[in-house]
Structure 1
Amino acid sequence: MTATTVAEPAETPAVRAALWRRLVGSPLIWAAVCLALTVPWFLAGQGMEFVPYLLMLVGGWLCGFAFVNATLSMTPARTGAVVHVLGAVIAAAFVWFAVDVAPALLEAAPEWVAAGFVILQFAAIPASAWIWLGLISRATAAIGARDARRAAGRPARVTPEWERATHGRGSAVRFAAVPLRMSTLTGIIIAITLVGGILCTVALIAVDDVVMNLGPRFAIVFVGVFIALPAYLLFRRRMRARTVDSVVEFGDDELRLVIGADAAVQRLPYRDLELLVWRARSDYARLEVRGSGLDVSLVAGVAAPRDGFTAELPPLSRRVIGRLQDLGLTLERRRRGEVLVFRPGGAHRP
């Protein structure tokens, strides 16, 4: 009997495109690029020039940014908080080790080893600062929410819930969101990072004598208090000012949107849907809808939440997912299933 060989399914263009998007959108990939670009300067003996110095700061911040986002997306939330605390302690311990212990150990090390450690040392400063800033923000938000509940006697904030639609058959959810494209949000974060990095460099150069006398730990506090914290508060205030009440309804054959308190209902038949993105949790919790002239992106994760509710979206119901797939839309799950992406392309099932 002749054995039959089953060919492995070829990697589809959609899978390759999804992998490429994940790589391009990964902060850790860009952090590695920034840190790798500093190597030629160190090999040339110019590692402390302005450009490599800025690259080390940006690369370190991206590492801290990726870590904080990862902890915020963990479930349950208590696990993310514990990991965040451990990461903050480890980051601070590494900075202490890099400043007070490592220099003596690296005196006899090869030049390339010492250069690599210097890159990690300078990258660790903004990474540690961002991790601790995120932890402070997390603790402040938790304490503020607890105090507010105690003062008002209200229950803890809950995720927005599905309810009966008011503009036709189907289910609906009301939530607060900022009308903002993800590309614009990413650009704002990158711009804040670059401007903050430049300001940080200029400020540290201006107070160079003080930094040399007080050490890198002072630099961490200085960057966090005078640059990172104001930038974060300004960004948060700007996002909250742009927050609007929004409603999305999933009917039997159409999607309905109401963006703003007195806005008209925007209707999009499922057959005209070109893209639907649904992410329930994290700072990037959002709804993206495109098709038939409609192009909407509502980011709930950065908005000022409604009273009693979190800045999230509820998980998309099985009924809605099944209905969209029955009408010929294909489902792609990204970010370990946290992001649901629907596009045309599946076979219609009656």
Structure 2
Amino acid sequence: MPAAARSRLRSLLSHGSLYAVVCWLAAAWWLARGEAAEFVPFLLALLAGVLCGTDFVDALQRFDRLRTRLLVHAGVVIAVAAALAWSTASVGLATLFRLEPPLLSGTFFFLFIAALPFTAWSGLALFTHITWELIDRRPMIESATPEWNGERGVYTLKIRAVPMSTTTGLVILTAGCLLGGGAYLSAVVALQHIGFGIGTGVLVLLSPIFLVVVAATQWLVRRRAVEHTVRLTTSIIDLAAGTNTMVAPLTAVRSVRLRPRGLLARIEYETADGRRTLLVGMGHPSNWMRRDERPLIPRFPKRIVDLLEHSGLSADESAAPKELRFIRER
């Protein structure tokens, strides 16, 4: 596959909205049978809403001006919330959910349920974004930005990170979304069981249950974050936490990857024995709901780039746009 095609494919696979479509496809069997309110499609709809919400908040960083970013953010949140209210008050959910064929009405139900966590997640992100700017903690943040230190061919970086593979981190967060969806659905069923009327307002008011469970999962992941020292020399790469080290000769390293920003900000290397990863984004407390503009990991300075290239690694032009990757040609 050409390098440009690989780059586009990796960029596509990094979007949560793609996996939201996969959730809809996975739920289509139930939707076509008129069983959109069953447990599995309901959870898939909630997960799709969170995936779209995180993707939307991340995409806002394409706007350079803060005012534009906030206006677009607030506009989308208000528009989705208004659509939810309109679909209930003016059209009536019963009318939408009785459309033929069942797949169409089931898709409307899927979108309605997905819009609830999307609105809650995006709204909470907007709130934290606004309060962050009002509090103005930028001087504190900038003073804590890590930097590469180099002396006599030895380069070090001190960062706080979770020693966990990217796949494991995403699986844990997905499990948190499913658990949150289960708790949310249980609350809805319990209210219906006692004869309490369930409308759009009640569904929105119950959405914090979902967010609390997801936030608790994130907190558990963040608790695993510890201080690490990344060390690069002319002969080795080492990811150390206290006396625990993950060291490999540079000649045995197949690739080195650095993603400076976002929830998946990380630094990792790969050898024949597997990958060693430090998830910096998941270990950063301010990075869950607000996508910070500053890099959580500084880019490699030219001296380190020269060191990696001298060891036989070369920059991978097909890497995703948000990351740096050096590979060893085979």
CA deviation string 1:14-53 (max 9, x = no partner): 6666655555554222211222343443433333333333
Counterpart of 2:109 in structure 1: which amino acid? V
Query: CA distance change for structure 1 residues 278 and 210 in 2, over 3 Å: closer, same or farther?
Result: farther
Match of 1:235 in 2: 217
The aligned counterpart of 2:83 is 94
Deviates more, 1:180-189 or 1:23-32: 23-32
CA distance in 2, matches of 1:334, 1:181: 22
Conserved in 2, the CA contact under 8 Å of 1:331 and 1:343? Answer: yes
Q: Deviations over 1:50-88 (max 9, x none)?
A: 3333332222222223222333x5464835544433332
Per the alignment, in what secondary structure is the counterpart of residue 281 of structure 2? coil
Q: Which residue of 2 aligns with 1:5?
A: none
Give the superposed CA RMSD.
3.6
Q: TM-score scaled to structure 1, two decimals?
A: 0.76
- How far 1:344 sits from its partner (Å)? 0.8
Question: 1:247 aligned to 220, 223, 229, which one?
Answer: 229
Q: What residue number does 1:299 align with?
A: 279
Q: CA deviation at 1:298?
A: 0.8
Distance in 1 (CA, whole Å) between partners of 2:93 and 2:226 is 56
- Structure of greater relative contact order (alpha carbons < 8 Å, 6+ residues apart): 2
Deviations 1:272-293 (A, max 9, x none): 2112110111111110122375
**2: distance between equivalents of 1:70 and 1:255?**
37
* Structure 1 residue aligned with 2:289: none
**99, 102, 118: which one pairs with 2:109?**
118
**1:278-317 Cα shifts (integer Å, max 9, x gaps):** 01111111101223758421111122479xxx78111222
Query: Residue 19 of structure 2 corresponds to which residue in structure 1?
Result: 30
Partner SS, residue 141 of structure 2: coil
SS of residue paired to 2:258: strand
Deviation per residue, 1:143-180 (Å, 9 max, x gap): 5x64xx5xxxx9331163434335x4244322211111
Structural mapping, 1:1-350, within 5 Å: 11-12=1-2, 22-71=11-60, 73-74=61-62, 76=64, 78=66, 80-103=69-92, 111-112=100-101, 114-142=105-133, 146=136, 155-158=139-142, 160-165=145-150, 168-208=152-192, 213=197, 215-224=199-208, 226-232=209-215, 234-251=216-233, 253-260=234-241, 262-263=242-243, 267-291=247-271, 295-304=275-284, 312-332=296-316, 337-345=321-329
Deviations 1:107-161 (A, max 9, x none): 7x96245444333222212221222233334445555x64xx5xxxx93311634
Deviation at 1:105, TM superposition (A): 11
In structure 2, stretches of 5+ residues that fail to align are 287-293
Distance in 2 (CA, whole Å) between partners of 1:299 and 1:193 is: 19
| 1:3 paired residue number | none
Displacement, 1:201? 1.4
| Partner AA of 1:33 in structure 2 | V
Distance across 1 between alignment mates of 2:255 and 2:218: 28
For structure 1, list consecutive stretches of 5 or more residues without a partner in the other structure.
1-10
Closer, same or farther: CA 44–161 of 1 in aligned 2, 3 Å: closer
TM-score normalized with structure 2 length: 0.80
